[in-house]
A and B are shown apart, each in its own frame.
Chain A
Amino acid sequence: MREVAIIGVGMSKFGELWERSFRSLITEAGLAAVKDAGIGGDDIDALYVGSMSAGRFIGQEHIGALVADEAGLTPAHIPATRVEAADASGGVALRQGYLAVASGAHDVVVVGGVEKMTDVGDVEQTNILAASADREWEAFFGATVPSLYAMMATRHMHDYGTTREQLARVSVKNHENGALNPNAAYPFTVKLDSVLTSPLVASPLRVLDMAASVDGAAAVVLCAADRVPSFTGKPVKILASGQASDSLALHDRASFTSLGATQRAAALAYRQAGITARDVNLAEVHDAFTISEVMAVEDLGFVEKGQGGFAVEKGVTTRAGSVPVNTSGGLKARGHPLGATGIAQAIEITQQLRGNAGARQVRNARIGLAHNVGGSGATATVHLLGGWE
């Protein structure tokens, strides 16, 4: 396979953006990415866009063509493909774009992710999110996505001694990072006590353990390695792309304290890149819930199984720690516009590797990891990015 670079990135602000439409968000992100890459519309060979549920949120399907149309790419009739894998839609779209370039089918591909979630109320949002779990054998009986992660947390605390306070520290850390991110939906810090006393959603998880439903879009431009010198965008290399699946329902999984899809996607990515978890300098992980990040740092191999909570407590994953995790603020503070999240993660890693992360910049970042999960863990992607030289 050919080497593939990310040469441009762009995103909208994330948040409850009542005045903004689905179309305007993804077009803003795409235009910013194209400008950053230094390409023109005529250079784009194909478009991929991740969106979990445009049909339910805004009553619009056929998103691939819509985005190409809005971007002014109609005259070229380029292939435009929408990708869906619940809230891993962005990560899977990134992988599809990567494979399209790596295979030689295309030289320059734009990959976007977008969700416009606030045109429906919170009850309908919960209902739509439940479509990422098993509708007939989980949601029908009253299980919500928060309750599924809560059941993972209950078991993790029971098996490994993970504490309620350790979970809260994930939220506190990610808000400390997010406070420095101008694109974050919730760019402010939260106190440990505020997390611990926020309203219960599904015990042991509380409101401030959860990533909120917001609007947003993000896009990257991918380019074949030999075409990189043709454009002005500062490249980073996609070292590897891993994707894996698991049973749709949590109850059918081999474990409730690990995501098997994450473990497999990570193993595939590490093997492709010829590295181990110890070589990763920073990571954006899918902290849809605080327990998600605790499990992710274990499943990605940064710490031993069961040590994820203790690692947060010791500061291992802060910006100054040995493996900074979610320097962007993560899903928690950046906000979680489902289909956009996987792309926004890749953008944060790209900016860190370029040295463009501003106040959030970590030192000596050479290899970064982006980890995106769908639903309660039935899909996971892991991408490894590295500096160009």
Chain B
Amino acid sequence: MSIPRFWREIDQRYNLKGVKCGNCGHHFFPARTMCSACRHESIGKLAPVTFSGNGTVETCSVVHNGPAGFEDQTPYVMAIIKLDEGPRITAQIVDCAPDQVGIGTRVRKVFRRINEEGDAGVIHYGYKFAVQA
């Protein structure tokens, strides 16, 4: 992923920032231009919000065949997490054995290295999730 393309999303990837619709109150992650329910009525009414980072696993899979840049991380757990504020997010669950993660597992956001573009390339950082104590 090109540097500017990654740079644009740093605020969201580092700090889990999204938006809240001032019209209907729905939260969105990542930030959107319009609320998908209110559409044009929401324009100009989307307020920035930082999510707590607490959520619940809704489904998951252990990836054994990782894409380029993730070969050294396999096997790793991918999950869809429902944040307590409502939005869902796709992320890795780390710092645990894969069998510790299942539907209903409570998790919290952590800040981690996502991958590296080769030995001398860009190192991408962002959110992963860990099982709550």
Contacts and interface: CB of A to CB of B under 8 A. Distances in A.
B60 A151 contact: yes
A232 interface: no
Interface string B1-22: 1000100010000000000000
Interface in A151-172: 151-155, 158
Interface residues of A, number: 37
B73 interface: yes
B110 interface: no
Contact of A251 (B68, B80, B126): B80
Contacts of A154: 59-61, 103
Contact of A199 (B61, B64, B78, B80): B64
Interface in A259-308: none
B67 A130 contact: yes
A333 to B, nearest CB: 21
A252 interface: yes
Contacts of A155: 58-59, 103
Nearest to A158: B103
A126 B67 contact: yes
A256 B63 contact: no
B49 interface: no
Interface residues of B, number: 34
A142 B62 contact: no
Contact of A142 (B59, B76, B89, B98): B76
Interface of A: 123-124, 126-127, 130, 134-144, 146-147, 150-155, 158, 199-205, 249-252, 256
Interface string B100-125: 00010000000000110000000010
Contact of A203 (B1, B9, B64, B66): B64
Contact of A139 (B5, B67, B124): B67
Contact of B66 (A140, A142, A252): A142
Interface string B59-95: 1111111111010010010111000000011111000
Nearest to A153: B61
A123 B68 contact: yes
Task: Specify which of A135, A147, A201 lies most central, judged by the most chain B CB atoms within 10 Å of its CB.
Answer: A147
A336 to B, nearest CB: 17
A143 to B, nearest CB: 5
Given A137-B30, A155-B59, A200 B64 contact: yes
Contacts of A130: 67
Contacts of A251: 80, 88-90
Contact of A147 (B58, B63, B115): B63
A250 B80 contact: yes
B88 A252 contact: yes
Nearest to A156: B59
B59 A152 contact: yes
